[in-house]
Amino acid sequence: MYKSIVKVTPQEDYKLLIEFEDNTKKLLDMKPYLNFGLFRHLQDRNNFNSVRVAFDTIEWAIGVDLDPEFVYDKSESIG
């Protein structure tokens, strides 16, 4: 069972600070994914910064979203 995302904050260098329902905070580096498919549009900082929580995961205004399990698995724990 995955953990729901409750807050996302875009950071410098195409990283996302993500808070999960259990108060875990993790950092997801999106740079490795920005050269693939629709994710290329996130190279534009305005598009990247439009990230928001949608249901239990994250999505961008351009219609790109991520699976919450992927987000949790690929992000690095902080603090």
Extract the tokens encoding 14: 């195409």
pLDDT band of residue 63 (cuts 50, 70, 90) is very high
Measure the CA–CA gap between 44 and 40, rounded to whole angstroms.
Answer: 8
pLDDT band of residue 2 (cuts 50, 70, 90) is confident
pTM: 0.93
- Distances in Å between the Cα of 59 and the Cα atoms of 30, 40, 44, 69, 79 are 13, 14, 15, 14, 24
pLDDT of residue 79 exceeding 90 = no
Q: H or E element: which one contains 17?
A: strand 15-20
Q: What is the pLDDT of residues 20-55, one digit of tens each?
A: 999 999 999 999 999 999 999 999 999 999 999 999
Residue 43, helix vs strand vs coil: helix
Return the closest-CA partner of residue 40 out of 67, 60, 20.
Answer: 60
- What is the reported pLDDT for 19? 96
Q: Which homologous superfamily is 5-77 in?
A: NE0471-like N-terminal domain (3.30.2020.10)
Mean pLDDT of 60-76: 95
